[in-house]
Homo-oligomer: A and B are copies of this chain.
Amino acid sequence: MRRVQASELNSHMGERVKISGWVHNLRLLGKANFMIVRDASGLAQVFLSGSEREQVTGLLPETVLEVVGSVVAEPQARGGVELHEPEIAVLSPVTEGLPFPINKPELEPQIETFLNHAPLGLRHPIKQATFRLSAGIMAGYRKALDRIGFVEIASPKIVESATESGANVFAIDYFGRPAFLAQSPQFYKQIMVGVFERVYEVAPVFRAEPHATIRHVNEYVSLDAEFGFIRDHTDVMRVLTRVIRAILMHVQEQQAPALASLQVEMPLAPETFPHVYFPDAQQLIFERYGEDCRGEPDLAPQHERWLGEWAKEKHGSDFLFVTGYPTAKRPFYTHPNPADLRYSNSFDLLFRGTELVTGGQRLHHYEDYLAAMEARAMDPAPFQSYLEAFRYGMPPHGGFAIGLERGADIT
């Protein structure tokens, strides 16, 4: 007998069908007994009369089984149907109780207990919804960039030189030579602009932040894009805006149940996101909130929250570009503002007052790279391969990187 998904039962009314899945819940009340079976599509209710009850006696939650039954309309049941006269076959028995329930609306355990039992905990509907949302963001991202001629790349993750400062790099022993786990595909994606003009990648990056648990924060999926023949960073901001809006559209269309179960309030994302120049943002904070951060080299989290508040009130947007971060605080490859070299053609995209995306225009002349590295007392020797791209002709270009975990926060 061919298997039917739990969510499709209501189109098999009156038929005898087979479902397969996990024992999500048992409600044994005596005369009327119910077993809830979970599969990837959702939940199905199985009705067991008093005499049929023995079939499920002793079955523990998460037991994997097949149920053949007759589909009967039942307005009280999820989806309006339940299975009657079941014949049950266990595929994989479970012989011990779960360390925590996964059939409650809330995921109860503390983070440490959860991590110790992740293979089980990941099955909780809330976790499932989070994963589906991440999958939807990746798919929406690719779709948006495929549509405008970007080529997908797969950059090396074991690299000879670290992208940023050496502070939070994982070193590995590469057959006796030093090597690192890539903190970002920054160098490679710039090199590939010389090949395809427009490239993107969806892949893990690695940051050695000692406070994190294994599997978390020290690696995350980065949604990277880089493209050439731009005028300046505002072209990058335009593409990014389009991509963000496309992602939101995609998850609304494809992941509506996940958004609903996570009780997501969809963001305000106008066709053009507001933007504010870094020193103007500091002036605005001073005038509106009375705190004088003018001249400071960076924004504090509270400053970003205030700016997010302002963007929402003034522009009806949960997104705000802050442009022109001080050149000295940005990586060496950042293109300065030609009109005022203290500031850069870079941006952060704030979402509800927190940084969501970093991007900007990069240097494209070889001698500008040498000068920028000299100004930062960096030795160009380990970067020879990367710098070769600029010796052999690179167009004006820029790009951005969205952390997938942060991307999931837009929801």
Contacts and interface: CB of A to CB of B under 8 A. Distances in A.
* Chain A interface, >50% SS class: mixed
A94 B195 contact: no
B192 A158 contact: no
Contacts of A285: none
Interface residues of A, number: 84
Contact of A392 (B119, B191, B198): B119
Contacts of A177: 214
Interface string A229-262: 1000000000000000000000000000000000
A388 B214 contact: no
Contacts of A395: 20, 64, 91-92
Contacts of A191: 118-119, 122
Interface string A350-363: 00000000000000
B194 A119 contact: yes
Interface string A119-163: 110110001100110110011001000100101111011111000
Contacts of A117: 388
Contacts of A119: 191, 194, 385-386, 388-389, 392
A44 interface: no
A120 B392 contact: yes
Nearest to A91: B395
Given A91-B396, A214-B179, A364-B92, A157 B118 contact: no
A386 B122 CA distance: 13
A95 B157 CA distance: 32
| Residue from A119, A206, A214 having most chain B Cβ neighbours under 10 A | A119
A181 interface: yes
A33 interface: no
A261 to B, nearest CB: 14
A296 interface: no
Nearest to A127: B195
Given A391-B96, A392-B119, A152 B128 contact: no
Interface in A69-120: 91-96, 98, 116-120
A311 interface: no
A160 B118 CA distance: 14
B181 A152 contact: no
A153 B131 contact: yes
Given A91-B364, A91-B396, A123-B194, 20 more contacts: A40-B198, A62-B393, A64-B394, A96-B391, A119-B389, A122-B191, A122-B195, A132-B151, A139-B146, A139-B152, A154-B404, A156-B215, A157-B206, A159-B214, A170-B172, A170-B174, A175-B208, A177-B214, A181-B181, A203-B203
A52 interface: no
B122 A393 contact: no
A20 B229 CA distance: 8
A36 to B, nearest CB: 14
Contacts of A274: none
A277 B23 CA distance: 37
